Amino acid sequence: MEDEIGQLSALLCLSNSEASILLRHSNWDAYKLQDSWFTNESELRHRVGLSAMDNPTAAAAADQSDCRICFDSFSPDSFNSAACGHQFCRDCWRQYFATSVNGGPGTLNLRCPEPSCTIAVTEDLINKIADEIDRKRYQKYLLRSYVEENRKLKWCPAAGCEHAVQFAAAAGDPNYDVSCLCSHAFCWNCCEEPHRPVNCITVKNWIAKNDLESANENWKKAYTKPCPNCSKPIEKNAGCMRMKFAAPCNY
């Protein structure tokens, strides 16, 4: 993840935090992102919450002394802001981010607290103002985004495994079998055990058939008994305790 962010940052002359925001909004597809960037950079910046290159708001807010949230007065070095320049005290920033990160992965799309502002809060600012626990939770959400929104990555389906697996097969290669560092092998398409040359639909139908047969067997074990003579399953659902079986058993 860091390598992809660094490469894009160097290519587009952006900070790593800005490159990360762009990649997340493109589902971590660098080629798709580059196409959008070079087609209409201004529109893409506006859509993801990155400030324009010439942003007058930041300079205008430099002399602010009152926090826009708690309205207390502070020295200039007690304020922080996103790229928009809207200044808030560190305590308000910290509480704002803590509330957001408690709400789940949506914190990755956090914007400036100013009601009319749509500028994104970058990872650089978060690392500067948030406490250690919240920073770690943010990194966890970022990693989940990288794996779960990336078409080339998946979490290993093995129980208890926390590794992600990358699919690196060449275009047109019919082999979807992959293996994890934990040694668990599975089909990339359906996450079942490797099943070449059988296709995924056939495997899905086979599993459903086996599940149905297993359910039937469990029902037989719970509600029937074997005949003492021929061992066929029998069910008693009414009448007296005496039972008579038909031919060919006749027991």
240 is catalytic: yes
The number of folded domains in the chain is 3
Catalytic residue among 70, 156, 190, 240: 240
Instruction: Say whether both 162 and 224 belong to one domain.
Output: no
The CATH number of the domain holding residue 30 is 3.30.40.10
Instruction: Say whether both 71 and 96 belong to one domain.
Output: yes
Instruction: Say whether both 124 and 157 belong to one domain.
Output: no
Instruction: Say whether both 123 and 95 belong to one domain.
Output: yes
**Interval 28-39: pLDDT, tens:** 999 999 999 999
Average pLDDT per consecutive 10 residues, the chain (251 residues; last block may be shorter): 88 90 91 91 90 57 72 85 90 94 91 92 92 93 92 90 84 78 90 86 82 68 69 62 60 53
**CB contact set of 215 (below 8 Å; sequence gap of 6+):** none
**Interval 225-243: pLDDT, tens:** 777 766 666 666 655 566 6
Domain that holds residue 160: 152-197
The domain boundary, picked from 133, 148, 163, lies at 148
pLDDT at residue 59, as a whole number: 47
Instruction: Say whether both 179 and 248 belong to one domain.
Output: no
pLDDT at residue 98, as a whole number: 94
Instruction: Say whether both 40 and 135 belong to one domain.
Output: yes
